[in-house]
Chain A
Amino acid sequence: MKSTFLTVLTTVLVLTGCNQSDSTQASQGDGGKKLVVGATMLSMQNEFIVNVNDEMAKQAEDAGVELITVDAERSALKQVEQVESFIAQKVDAIIMNPCEVEASSPAVAKALAAKIPIINVNSETSTKPSAFVGSDDVESARIAMKFIADKLGGKGNIVMMHGYMGQAAQIKREQGAREILKQYPGLKLIAHQTAEWDRAKAMDLMENWIQSYGSGVNAVFAHNDEMGMGAVKALTDAGLKNKVIVVSIDAIPDALQAVQKGTLDATVFQNAEQQGSKAIEAAVKLAKGQAVEKETLIPFQLVTKDNVAQFMKKPE
């Protein structure tokens, strides 16, 4: 028994040893070993986050870096614990996709105290990390609401679907939308309510609003595409879609398809690939002791029927 186990162990060690010597061009730290980056992601049930992480994994492989990804499952507490375990494992850099602005902050402080560079990707914490890679959520809502204002000629009734109340993305997207609303006194926000980022809940909510306001609604702004798609479905069923503009954020594949078909009027593209690749780039540089930009902002892009083709991926 014991000897079999030892044989297996030795084989594994030899094999991994071989692997390491093979990858001569791989990124190496001071000690000459392969760099290890730990990543804790908000939720691997979220399509956008999965896309960011896929790109991180790809870039890490290209750079010869070992990437360990863990799922925080939307729990800031779990996220802090995961960062603690990365620190204990003495990884070379940490990438965190924060669950919450405040509650995920202790993780940043702990990593910095252990002198391990930590990069926030996609959203922020109140404690400043070594570097931030992401996009400004306020801007995405400004772009979406500006599109509505232009389409309506600055006059009309708008309803807004919030994400989960109190989450950073919801707060910022509401803030951006309200900034634009202030610039156009002709635009009236007649109702706003949360549909918790959820397509089915958004459909229920839109159906109820249609009962309330009938054709009195001119435009819907939803904080994400899932909800935007729910609103489109409810409006289509009620035969009102051609009278109401629907705009949402994220540019998920479903939404891009809907923009192409003309059912969803516009979405805002947040570049998951660039966020993922820039995060790995920053992690590798920081691990090697090189300087990086404190803040890398990836710009958003408005997606309408005119330019949707360039955002659509080829089917897998």
Chain B
Amino acid sequence: MKNTIDPYLKPVRESYRTRVSRLGKAGIFVAFIVVCVALSLITPRFLTVPNLMIIVTQVSINALLAFGVTFVIITGGIDLSLGSMVAVTGVVAALFARSETYPVVVPILAGLLSGLLFGAFNGFVITRSKVPPFIVTLGTMTIGRGLALILSKGRPISNLSDSFNFIGGGQLLGVPMPIIILVVLFAVCSVILRKTVLGRYMYAVGGNEQAAKASGIQINNVKMAVYTMSGLLAALAGIVLTSRITTGQPNAGAGFELDAIAAAIIGGTSTSGGTGTMAGTLIGALLIGVISNGLDLLNVSSYYQQVVMGVIIIGAVVLDSVNQK
């Protein structure tokens, strides 16, 4: 990609990023702290090391999906096929993880490859057809669900190898594997977004597609890249989930796309594109996880849980937008 356009792009990106990081992220961060402090005061069981470990482990799957969809939303797109990709990639990985037939890298690579292909297909159709991403990924959401059912014959795939089950259920130096995966991927995604040309182009495409095009950015390449990365991250989420519950479930991940999109938006990613940070998305995902954990600890009825969750999501975004003014 061309470097000549950098001088033009840089000031645009910096100005808005400073704004978001100084004010927007502060807003969601404040909301997150408030919820955590409140929960620690209400129940002594909240602020304990094991409970915090559990929250982050539970959050990891949603956070991985949210990282992917953050890339996509920053370019002004959307990916509704996340949940179905979790199912397809999880089933594919499970098919290769039955018993100890293959070394553990085989199911991992097979899962990742299926996610990469699925994401690339999304990107290909979106860039070639000019059909809005909302419609394309709505279609592939259904296709993916169907594929997962076909591959698994509609039944859960169990008896996975111990080495595969370690990915989602094992620990390294006392830290659950999903947390380690989450931390690594957070670092990788942050670097891609902040330090690479591709990251800069994402903001440019989402901020003003026409201007980005005029300045010589290969818009289609950027879009192909974000949907493919979204597919890869969804595959990783699918592998972690499958390994955690030790079965490949064709109906897993239903509705996951909404939680992931919610995490990104709560974290300050604007649905109109051009804005967003990985740190914000991570906090967004953690906030959802903390609320869900807290309400379970307090034994709040499931009816009320859904209402409370909705209120807090809207509240967080309102707080965020007030802070940005």
- Do A and B associate with each other? yes
Interface positions of A (Cβ within 8 A of B): 44-45, 47, 50, 162, 165, 191, 193-194, 198-200, 203-205, 207-209, 211-212, 226, 229-230, 233, 237, 252-254, 257
Nearest chain-A residue to B171 (Cβ)? A237
Tell me whether A257 and B252 are in contact (CB under 8 A). no
Cβ of A198: which chain B residues have Cβ within 8 Å of it?
Answer: 252
Q: A165-B302, A211-B54, A254-B156 are in contact. Are A203 and B244 (CB under 8 A)?
A: yes
Cβ of A199: which chain B residues have Cβ within 8 Å of it?
Answer: 245, 247, 249
Q: A47-B154, A257-B158 are in contact. Are A212 and B299 (CB under 8 A)?
A: yes
A45, A200, A207: residue with the most chain B Cβ atoms closer than 10 Å? A200
Cβ of B50: which chain A residues have Cβ within 8 Å of it?
Answer: 211
Cα of A233 to Cα of B160 in the assembled complex, Å: 14
Cα of A252 to Cα of B57 in the assembled complex, Å: 27
Q: A47-B156, A208-B296, A211-B45 are in contact. Are A200 and B241 (CB under 8 A)?
A: yes
Within residues 266 to 296 of chain B, which ones have a CB less than 8 A from any CB in chain A?
Answer: 292-293, 296
Cα of A167 to Cα of B185 in the assembled complex, Å: 39
Question: Could you tell me the distance in whole angstroms from the C-beta of A138 to the nearest C-beta in chain B?
Answer: 21
Beta-carbon contacts of B152-170 to A below 8 Å, as 1s and 0s?
0011101100000000010
Tell me whether B154 and A44 are in contact (CB under 8 A). yes
Tell me whether B292 and A194 are in contact (CB under 8 A). no
Question: Could you tell me the distance in whole angstroms from the C-beta of A2 to the nearest C-beta in chain B?
Answer: 35
Interface residues on B, range: 20 to 34
Cα of A233 to Cα of B57 in the assembled complex, Å: 14
Question: Could you tell me the distance in whole angstroms from the C-beta of B310 to the nearest C-beta in chain A?
Answer: 16
CB < 8 Å: which of A203, A212, A229, A252 contacts B45?
A212
Nearest chain-B residue to A205 (Cβ)? B296
Cβ of B48: which chain A residues have Cβ within 8 Å of it?
Answer: 211
Known: A208-B297, A212-B45. 20 other contacts (CB 8 A): A44-B149, A193-B301, A193-B302, A194-B302, A200-B244, A200-B245, A203-B244, A204-B58, A208-B293, A208-B296, A211-B45, A211-B293, A212-B299, A230-B245, A233-B169, A233-B245, A233-B246, A253-B155, A254-B158, A257-B159
Q: Could you show 15 A-B contacts with beta carbons less than 8 Å apart?
A: A45-B154, A45-B251, A193-B299, A194-B302, A199-B245, A200-B252, A204-B58, A205-B296, A208-B297, A211-B48, A212-B45, A229-B245, A237-B169, A252-B156, A257-B159
A191, A205, A208: residue with the most chain B Cβ atoms closer than 10 Å? A208
Nearest chain-B residue to A53 (Cβ)? B154
Q: A200-B241, A203-B244, A212-B296 are in contact. Are A45 and B156 (CB under 8 A)?
A: no
Cα of A233 to Cα of B244 in the assembled complex, Å: 9
Question: Could you tell me the distance in whole angstroms from the C-beta of B241 to the nearest C-beta in chain A?
Answer: 6
Cα of A257 to Cα of B247 in the assembled complex, Å: 13
Tell me whether A50 and B154 are in contact (CB under 8 A). yes
Tell me whether B299 and A191 are in contact (CB under 8 A). yes
Cα of A212 to Cα of B58 in the assembled complex, Å: 16
Tell me whether B250 and A207 are in contact (CB under 8 A). no
Task: Say if the beta carbon of B8 comes within 8 Å of chain A.
Answer: no
CB < 8 Å: which of B51, B155, B252 contacts A50?
B155
Nearest chain-A residue to B145 (Cβ)? A45
Cβ of B292: which chain A residues have Cβ within 8 Å of it?
Answer: 204
Within residues 124 to 173 of chain B, which ones have a CB less than 8 A from any CB in chain A?
Answer: 149, 154-156, 158-159, 169
Cα of A165 to Cα of B246 in the assembled complex, Å: 26
Question: Could you tell me the distance in whole angstroms from the C-beta of A234 to the nearest C-beta in chain B?
Answer: 9
Nearest chain-A residue to B43 (Cβ)? A212
Cβ of B251: which chain A residues have Cβ within 8 Å of it?
Answer: 45
Question: Could you tell me the distance in whole angstroms from the C-beta of A228 to the nearest C-beta in chain B?
Answer: 12
Question: Could you tell me the distance in whole angstroms from the C-beta of A43 to the nearest C-beta in chain B?
Answer: 9
Tell me whether A45 and B54 are in contact (CB under 8 A). no
Cβ of A211: which chain B residues have Cβ within 8 Å of it?
Answer: 45, 48, 50-51, 54, 293, 297
